[in-house]
Structures are given as C-alpha cells and as structure tokens.
Amino acid sequence: MITERILSKPRVAVLVDGENVPAVFAGRIITKALSHGELIIKRVYGDVKQIPSWSEAPGFRLIHSGVGKNATDLLLSVEAMGFMLGGQADILVIAASDRDYTHLAVNLRERGLSVVGMGEGKTKAVFRETCSVFHELIVPAEPAPNVPVHKLTEKPKSVDTWLRDMLAPLGPRGMKVTELNSKMHRTFGRGITTEGVATWKAYAAKDPARFGHVTLEKEPYIFLKPAPHSAP
C-alpha cells in the first residue's frame, strides 16, 4: 500500500472562483493543474445565475455558493480546508485573481501543504507570493482571419471595364439605366456622377465606338456596341 502511494501521482484538487475567473480560462487551468498531478476534484464556485458560461466547461462541477456577500470566497475556503485536512488531496489549486484567498493559502502552507495559485495579471503580489507556485492566466490570442492572398492583391475593376463585362452578354438591347444605377451603387458605393458626367447617356457619348444609348418604351438603355470587324 505504501509502495503504491509513493509511485502514484499527487492528488490535486482544483477549486475555481467562477465569479472572479472567466470560463475562457477553463482549458488552461486544467492544463496547468495536470502538470502537478492527478486531478481528482475540479469545482467551480459562484452564483450559478451569474456564471452561466462555466456550466458549459467540460469536467468541472459547478457549485452554487448563494448570493450573499463573500459567499463564494467562504464556501470555497471551507471546502478547500476540508479536502486538504481530510487527506482527500495532496495539492490544492486555487484559481482566482482575488487576494482574499491569501489567508487560506497561508494557513495550508503553515501546515506543510502545497498550494498552487492561478490568476490573471491583475492578481496582487500578496497572494502570488503566498502560494507554493503561481501560474498567470493569459487570455488566448484570437487567430488571425484566414484571408486568401488573392483577396489582398486583387484590385477593383474600373467602371469602364465593369460596364463592358456586364453589358457584353446582353446584346443590342443592353440594360435599363435605372437598373444600371442600382448595380453601380452596390458594386462601387457611388453613382455615375463621380465619373465626371451627369448621366449614363453622357458617359456613353464619351466613347461612342463602344457604348450606345437608346430609349425603348420610354425607358433609357445603355448597350455595348459590337466590336468592328477588321478588314480582310
């Protein structure tokens, strides 16, 4: 029995102040705690209505501490003393950025027990230095968006090229000016007046060899003229 205990990993109790440490750190807390031994207890304390995200953290048991002042601190401390003095764990992990757990850590350290602290950068030095070891919890960096290279180098078409590409398959009838205005606004975020002309008719008149303007059924249209055939 003694041999088995010597060969086995230290038993670790992980107690988290869920009102003080966000659930985004759940994975990091587990990873850091595993470096100290076997995790036999993993609990999160707090008013469950205030920490719904912790209920989705896998592996943790959510303990409702009530809504009174310091209720979470007190319940976590009471259960921590019970686990450690009752011999249920060899190492206590306290995940909190709160200096209020300093007295708990001091008491257990004086009894020769190991206390591992975890908290964000804002954790006061008095709690950090009281623990046997302290791990700072850092917010995971968000991955950079995966933007295709061609999206970064691709230049928008000119209005002239865009117009030719859009009119080419429509034949001699072309497209209504009202529809053309709408499409240009959606594509470029501006109207034809930004091209130095007041109307699409005027735009077509600038390049009469390629563009034509016609009124059909009282609706103005712009169309692309067929390319002239080269002489044999």
Put the strands of the sheet holding 91-95 in their side by side order. 61-64, 38-46, 11-17, 91-95, 114-119, 133-136
The 3-state DSSP composition of the chain as helix, strand, coil percent (nearest 5) reads 45, 20, 35
The pLDDT tens digits for 76-92 are: 999 999 999 999 999 99
Cβ neighbours of residue 110 closer than 8 Å, sequence gap 6 or more: none
Q: Is the pLDDT of residue 59 over 80?
A: yes
**Quick one: average pLDDT of 54-78?**
93
pLDDT at 3: 43
pLDDT for 86 equals 97
Q: Cα–Cα distance between 7 and 10 in angstroms, integer?
A: 9
Please compute the mean of the pLDDT values over residues 111-118 and round it to a whole number: 98
